[in-house]
């Protein structure tokens, strides 16, 4: 049999769980990108654009782009779209030659959570 004190603590614990659960799920997840994952583009993009589910901190975020021989492709500084804090833009310093490319990304969201992932695309 639960006493009033035990019921109160169980209620407090339940409420604390309900209010902290959304914070645990608050990570910047990749929602879309250009070039798109698994895309075959006909021309080299001038920049990569990644869109996330929440705002990101560009100074703590970045990408590496590598070709099929695992050679790193030079990129410019990570920028955040001035009108959309969920969008990361990374200029490519040189045009990409035909082939397959892997993009590995990591971001820190505005609430401090870090996420990472990768995807591939090809240039014809």
Predicted TM-score (pTM) of the model is 0.79
In angstroms, the CA 56 to CA 25 distance is: 15
Domains of the chain and CATH, by start: 27-123 (2.60.40.1220)
Report residue 22's pLDDT band, with 50, 70 and 90 as the boundaries.
Answer: very low
pLDDT, tens digit, 9 for 90 and up, residues 27-62: 899 999 999 999 999 999 999 999 999 999 999 999
Residue 75 has a pLDDT of 97
pLDDT, tens digit, 9 for 90 and up, residues 2-18: 566 656 656 555 555 54
DSSP 12-54: HHHHHHHHHHHHHH----EEEEESPTT-EESS--SEEEEEESS
**Do 76 and 91 contact (CB within 8 A), yes or no?**
yes
Residue 84 above 80 pLDDT? Answer: yes
Over range 71-81, report the average pLDDT: 97
Which pair of structure tokens corresponds to residue 8? 């109160």
Over range 68-82, report the average pLDDT: 96
What number of residues does the chain have? Answer: 124
Residue 18 has a pLDDT of 45
Q: What is the maximal distance between C-alpha atoms in the chain? A: 73
Q: Is 49 exposed, middle or buried (0-12, 13-18, 19+ CB in 10 A)?
A: middle
């Amino acid at each position: 049999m639960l006493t009033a004190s035990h019921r109160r603590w169980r209620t407090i614990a339940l409420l604390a769980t309900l209010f902290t659960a959304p914070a645990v799920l608050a990570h910047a997840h990749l929602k879309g990108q250009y070039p798109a994952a698994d895309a075959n583009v006909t021309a080299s993009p001038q920049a990569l654009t990644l869109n996330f589910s929440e705002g990101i901190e560009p100074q703590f975020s970045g990408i590496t782009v590598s070709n099929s021989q695992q050679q790193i492709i030079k990129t410019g500084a990570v920028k955040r779209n001035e009108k959309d804090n969920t969008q990361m833009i990374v200029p490519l310093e040189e045009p990409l030659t035909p082939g397959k490319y892997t993009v590995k990304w990591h971001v820190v969201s505005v609430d401090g959570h870090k996420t990472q992932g990768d995807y591939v695309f090809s240039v014809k």
